[in-house]
């Protein structure tokens, strides 16, 4: 079973609204094995709605429209659907009395315009609107299924969950199920991941394998289709094992797991604590670590040392080191990591210094140059990085890389 | 001039991602008088991309594609475009050396797959990618304009603003213009703002007035339409003045200005410095302050004191205060603010302590209880708040409220 979603409303084409209806429906349909092949947004224009509807009906078995069910003259979805499939709109008495009831409840007279909302295509199955006024419907005709839903998210969701989904589940035996699995990696460029998985990505049709990269994290998404959930999951697991073998520890988690959650989990399991000395990341690493509930178990605190005097006074970075090597240097990162570890009496001390830009660069020290040091017991490792991007991107890449250094150390 | 936007990527059809690229483009195109007539989302399927592209090219003069410009085998946008308009993809030497340069800069070898990204349709105008790797292009052929942009939002926006828009503006003349103006407020509930602006919101048709609230910030959005930019701006300014009069200092900025930018600007203008002692916000305030370029001029640093010992040792919070009042108390916030001010030798010291949840609440101290103190010279103000929401929301509300306290103090 394949479907298209048509979102109707000129306001969408102005870009003032973020459409959450369509992703919601796409996700729910995918989960019951209905494959969304295309999503279309058109304005409140009869010709545009009609052409997109007719094209969609030629391509797929199920078309879902969103919006255009209100009482005003620009709400013409029902009219266009009726015309496209050559059906009449007829008054549904039950729906009419329900609409009248809603106005009575609010002790308001029903405007005559609202009568229009009680007209539905002949032989359609009405979908009640628990939250608002506009009813939707399911129309089965000419071997096609058309579902019309209202635009407001808080009306659409209950109408879909409570009225539409049960109908679809009963009407069609849910056979095909789609299961997705995300493997999250960091430490490799997207093109490097692609290179390592080239043959798998090319050959594996079920699950299909996609990559999505952002700020030094590359997500590998597996999407499997099968007759039931277990088989779909098994298909994913099969490919997951092969990918895991190749990428090993570059994979840090699955699905929506974040690096900070994984680092937090590892610290918690190993009963270790951490403290952070941040310069160019400016508090981002601490912010991310403390986004995890329960982080107070292992995160002791941090010093954001933007100012050199704070690096000296608060972290014990030597004045001579600052003078000789400059604030952005391997040596300063090293002393920051050692300093915060000592001060916080933590097991791990993480030190980050760098140039986030747009100013502050010199000839030898370009924007994006970052040093990250990790102190543990009497050992310390320090690495140099060169990140590309705007200020925010460099901060994010440095934070991801620093968290990954902690993770890799904890995995040893 | 009319346009359609085609967003390419199977991940979108699973509903896992909210598309912000399309609304952004729709808004910007609308503003320069290009009417978006349809938005389409298709998967990484050659047939689907080709059919949607060909249909769009029949209907409108301009088609913009988003995504599918990466190095991996499922990135096929360029191939499909070239085929649809019967053009060849040829190697662009300038773009190639630019891509090579980017890898050199990060001191990494360029994987062979990336060469693919330097191939562009013959006679197309290349669009440079300042943030990522994938270049875009503008192709004018057969009385049609095809613009290909990359999927990641942080790459698409600068490529559109800096490379595409100037090209379009020069190439086409602009008529109806839509101008929006956002007035950003904090310190008032959305319903309170709505009450204060009730009559304006109801009566003003041009500009239209909308509210949008998130994490204790309420944005007032004015949208004006006119024959040219100046008139549209004047329409907005008229209403802006009336709103400003009613809301006064609750308005902290316009458009995309953030609280941290405004606070930073005020600190900079008054030649004052700040340092922060964070507990429940866990580094978020420092992160936000340091997101602003040039923040090293006024932000000295911070201590994130998650652990009580760090509150004592690093901030000078008295042991007796912690024992008598608890870590989440007016007194501790006060001592944190004073402590960080003294330690950092800053003009302002900001101290925040609270319970972000989901654990840590007691009968007297519920989740969302937050104390914020601001020390300046020998004075100190401290306030108690009770924020509703999940951990991340409470952190964000506390950060906004703390930044607003600094702002209001600087406006005195």
Q: Which of residues 296-335 of A touch B (CB under 8 A)?
A: 296, 299-307, 309-310, 313-314
Looking at residue A170, its pLDDT comes to 83
Q: Are B142 and B216 in contact (CB under 8 A)?
A: no
Residue B323 has pLDDT above 90, yes or no: yes
Q: Which of B261, B283, B316, B361 to mutate to test the interface with A (most CBs of A within 10 A)?
A: B283
**Whole-angstrom Cα distance, residue B387 to residue B352?**
13
Which residues of chain A have a CB within 8 Å of the CB of B282? 286-287, 289-291, 295, 299
> pTM for the full model?
0.72
The domains of chain A are located at 2-171, 177-254, 259-411
- State whether the Cα torsion B390-B391-B394-B400 is positive or negative: negative
Distance from CA of A277 to the nearest CA of B (A): 9
B175 pLDDT tier (thresholds 50, 70, 90):
low
User: What CATH class has B2-171?
Assistant: alpha beta
> Encoding tokens for residue B258?
């953030």
Looking at residue A1, its pLDDT comes to 84
Looking at residue B234, its pLDDT comes to 95
Compute the count of residue pairs across chains A and B with CB atoms less than 8 Å apart.
Answer: 288
Residue A247 has pLDDT above 90, yes or no: yes
The Cα-based distances of A85 to A3, A43, B134 in angstroms read 17, 20, 44
A130 pLDDT tier (thresholds 50, 70, 90):
confident
B174 pLDDT tier (thresholds 50, 70, 90):
low
Distance from CA of B216 to the nearest CA of A (A): 19
The DSSP secondary-structure symbol of A125 reads E
A406 pLDDT tier (thresholds 50, 70, 90):
very high
Distance from CA of A92 to the nearest CA of B (A): 32
Q: Which of residues 159-198 of A touch B (CB under 8 A)?
A: 178, 180, 189-192, 194-195, 198
Quick check: A364 contacting B, CB < 8 Å? no
Nearest to B306 among A35, A301, A392 (CB): A301
> Nearest residue of B to residue A390 by CA position?
B131
CATH tag for B177-254 (out of 3.40.50.720, 3.30.70.2860, 3.90.550.10, 3.40.50.10890): 3.30.70.2860
Angle at which helices B391-411 and B259-269 cross, to 10°: 30
Q: Are B190 and B197 in contact (CB under 8 A)?
A: no
The string of pLDDT tens digits covering residues B37-66 is 999 999 999 999 999 999 999 999 999 999
B102 and A290: CB-CB below 8 Å?
no
CATH number of the domain at A259-411, please?
3.90.950.20
Q: How many CB atoms lie within 10 A of CB B244?
A: 14
Residue A377 has pLDDT above 70, yes or no: yes
Least confident of A62-66, A341-345, B355-359: B355-359
- Tell me the sheet residues that pair with A139: A146
A31 pLDDT tier (thresholds 50, 70, 90):
confident
Q: What is the mean pLDDT of residues A331-349?
A: 97
Looking at residue B343, its pLDDT comes to 93
- Encode A308-325: b = buried (16+ Cβ within 10 Å), e = exposed: bebbbbbbebeeebbeeb
Interface pTM, i.e. ipTM: 0.71
Residue B130 has pLDDT above 90, yes or no: no
Which residues are within 8 A (CB) of B350 and not within 5 positions of it... i.e. 6 or more apart?
B274, B275, B276, B277, B285, B337, B340, B372, B373, B374, B375, B402, B405, B406
Quick check: B40 contacting A, CB < 8 Å? yes
Q: What is the mean pLDDT of residues B75-91?
A: 94
Please tell me which residue, B115 or A169, carries the higher pLDDT value.
B115
Residue B225 has pLDDT above 90, yes or no: no
Q: What is the mean pLDDT of residues A161-172?
A: 88
Q: Are B218 and B188 in contact (CB under 8 A)?
A: yes
Looking at residue A110, its pLDDT comes to 83
Please tell me which residue, A215 or A264, carries the higher pLDDT value.
A264
Looking at residue A156, its pLDDT comes to 94
Which of A263-272, B108-117, B190-199 is most confident?
Answer: A263-272
């Amino acid at each position: 079973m394949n479907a298209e979603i048509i979102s109707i409303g000129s306001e969408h084409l102005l870009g003032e609204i973020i459409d959450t209806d369509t992703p919601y429906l796409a996700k729910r349909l995918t989960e019951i094995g209905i494959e969304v092949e295309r999503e279309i947004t058109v304005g409140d224009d009869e010709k545009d709605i009609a052409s997109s509807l007719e094209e969609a009906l030629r391509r797929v078995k199920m078309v879902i429209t969103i919006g255009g069910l209100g009482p005003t003259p620009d709400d013409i979805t029902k009219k266009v659907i009726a015309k496209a499939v050559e059906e009449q709109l007829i008054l549904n008495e039950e729906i009419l009395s329900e609409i009248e009831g809603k106005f009575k409840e609010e002790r308001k007279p029903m405007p005559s315009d609202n009568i229009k909302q009680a007209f539905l295509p002949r032989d359609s199955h009405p979908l009640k609107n628990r939250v608002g006024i506009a009813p939707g419907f399911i129309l089965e005709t000419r071997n096609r299924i058309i579902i019309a839903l209202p635009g407001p998210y808080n009306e659409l969701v209950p109408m879909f969950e409570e009225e539409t989904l049960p109908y679809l589940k009963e009407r069609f035996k849910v056979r095909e199920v789609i299961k997705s699995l995300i493997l999250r990696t960091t430490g490799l460029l997207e093109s490097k991941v692609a290179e390592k998985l080239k043959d798998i990505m090319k050959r594996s049709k079920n699950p299909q394998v996609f990559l999505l990269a952002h700020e030094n994290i590359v997500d590998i998404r597996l999407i499997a289709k099968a007759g039931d959930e277990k088989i779909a999951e098994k298909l994913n697991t099969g490919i997951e094992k092969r990918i895991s073998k190749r990428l090993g520890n570059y994979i840090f988690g699955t699905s929506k797991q974040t690096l900070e959650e994984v680092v937090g989990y590892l610290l918690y399991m190993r009963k270790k604590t951490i403290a952070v000395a941040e310069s160019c990341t400016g508090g981002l690493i601490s912010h991310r670590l403390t986004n995890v509930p329960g982080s107070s178990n292992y995160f002791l605190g941090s010093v954001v040392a933007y100012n050199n005097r704070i690096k000296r006074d608060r972290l014990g970075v030597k004045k001579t080191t600052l003078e000789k090597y400059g604030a952005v240097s391997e040596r300063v990162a090293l002393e920051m990591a050692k300093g915060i570890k000592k001060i916080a009496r933590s097991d791990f001390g993480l030190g980050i210094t760098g140039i986030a830009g747009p100013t502050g660069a010199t000839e030898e020290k370009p924007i994006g140059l970052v040093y990250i040091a990790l102190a543990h017991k009497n050992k310390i490792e320090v690495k140099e990085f060169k990140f590309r991007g705007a200020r925010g991107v460099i901060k994010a890449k440095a934070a991801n890389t620093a968290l990954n250094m902690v993770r890799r150390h904890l995995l040893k």
